[in-house]
Homo-oligomer: A and B are copies of this chain.
């Protein structure tokens, strides 16, 4: 049950108030998503980097056995996307120090022919026009989910509305949900988004967990209670990776036939929560690179016990 993600690969510089800083670390939404999802199911990564992309970073990606890199384009004459950010004292908010779009400002990568039969599609945050183009290149996925951000809600609302009518699920941050709907109440915002097209909407609240609105109900889950947050970069993308990877693994096992089943999605959110909790324990992909499936299973069990009632 093939999972395809379209997202960014970047070179990040991250500054934090208490855990120091790291310059030129492998980052990007496609990177974090793929690394997290690869623990659950093979993942096809469609992304583009410049010819300056360090071989060392390519080796890090190759280190995740489940990541299929045939869709990673290395564009001659172009430079890789770079981003720098500084976290504020609460580690939940950040300032962007610089953004060098580079190759992301050029034509998007193409979905390779051999990926066009992908059954599960995740469109990580990018221009909604690009996301629509990606959606067009994949035949008829069983499940398509998109992420978005404040910039597109403000500047590309028409295209974003088109996208929302075409995807099965939307994942976004709580402040973006408010911006998109005008509802300060997160539950009300998530429900409102169901009227815009998606059959489910996941609102990410960082250290406060997540909420999902779905035709069959509402679900709220806490974040895994983390005391030592080293670097929150990629938390939302590794959350989405764990979530989508879990659904892909369930579909592949034959135990699940409807990837939009409310109860399965609840479990998918829990797996996303666990993957995000590991990701924030290090800069870049360091923690995910050393992670084992046994550690994931142990933390998932601990998380479930923490919330089990009766």
Contacts and interface: CB of A to CB of B under 8 A. Distances in A.
Interface of A: 89-91, 184-188, 191, 205, 207-209, 211, 217-229, 266-267, 270, 300-301, 303-304, 306-310
B306 A220 contact: yes
Contacts of A205: 208
A192 to B, nearest CB: 10
Nearest to A226: B187
A223 B220 contact: yes
A300 B185 CA distance: 22
Contacts of A304: 308-310
Contact of A309 (B222, B223, B224, B270): B270
B227 A187 contact: yes
Nearest to A92: B184
A177 to B, nearest CB: 13
In the complex, the count of this chain's copies comes to 2
Q: By CB atoms of chain B within 10 A, which of A89, A221, A222 has the most? A: A222
Q: By CB atoms of chain B within 10 A, which of A91, A188, A207, A226 has the most? A: A207
A188 B226 CA distance: 8
Contacts of A270: 309
A304 B185 CA distance: 22
Contacts of A225: 187, 211, 218-220
A91 B209 contact: no
Nearest to A178: B90
A184 B309 contact: no
B227 A207 contact: no
Contacts of A267: 309-310
B211 A208 contact: no
Contact of A208 (B89, B185, B208, B300): B208
Contacts of A226: 185, 187
